[in-house]
Amino acid sequence: MDLSIIVPCYNEADNVPKLDQEFFPVVTRLAHSHSVEVIFVDDGSTDGTWQELRDAFRDGRRPDISVKFERHPVNKGLGAALRTGFAAARGDVIVTTDSDGTYRFSSIPELLSYLKPGVDVVTASPYHPQGSVAGVPAYRLVLSRGSSTIYRFLVDWNVRTYTCLFRAYRREVIDKAPFESNGFLAGTELMVNAMLMGYRVAEYPAVLYSRAFGASKAKVMRTIRAHLGFQLRVLLRRLRLMPRVAPRQATPG
């Protein structure tokens, strides 16, 4: 299996040592059995993230791993960063992960183990009965859990978490499932559209941790409006696909 791991970054200079100490040892172990590339996408950072990434991980530092660097001159949003990463990725399987380790990098191999035959997407799921959260601000949980509950009603009740970034995709899903958002909606939009196209999603029960450095980049009200708009579009799509019931004919005489 050829494996691409995409790491979007926006003002994450403080987390580069964490990537070095916790992320790359996991990637090195994966490289023993897979062809692995890592793609960093710097989404217009202003804190020196680009230079920190290149100083830490430029060519030659990791001889068994291909490391690519993509850069936006200005901040465009998570969805735009994912789109850039997907365009650069060459793997049969593509993993997307937060740069801050809110889902532990050490769990990437276990996430991949859920990508069994017949499964097209594996999503981390802190809201799975065997998953959990640790130290995450309440407002983030209200937004994430509330949005996921609505998507459960609209799409598939058996999938509990729709809003995380930490996932593994088969290449075909990335090539065929569309998403339009440039913001935080993008990951949800991609997975929901894939599910509506018939791709199968499996959940990996995971622990969601709070950030060690920096602050969440989510713009709460903008993200809420984006989810509500997309949820309405999904509802209308489902209604259009519902079989129409022919009107009853009046009984003669």
- 3-class secondary structure per residue, 36-90: EEEEEEEECCCCCHHHHHHHHHCCCCCCCCEEEEEEECCCCCHHHHHHHHHHHCC
Identify which of 185, 171, 186, 83 has the alpha carbon closest to the alpha carbon of residue 121: 171
User: Over the chain, what is the mean pLDDT?
Assistant: 90
Give the pLDDT band (50/70/90) at residue 144: confident
Domain boundaries along the sequence of the chain: 2-241
pLDDT of residue 1: 57
Strands 207-209 and 132-134: parallel
How far is residue 160's CA from residue 148's CA, in Å, rounded to a whole number?
6
CATH among 3.30.2270.10, 3.40.50.720, 3.90.550.10, 1.10.10.10 for 2-241: 3.90.550.10
How far is residue 64's CA from residue 60's CA, in Å, rounded to a whole number?
9
pLDDT tens-place string over residues 158-212 = 999 999 999 999 999 999 999 999 999 999 999 999 999 999 999 999 999 876 5
Percent of the chain whose predicted confidence (pLDDT) is above 70: 91
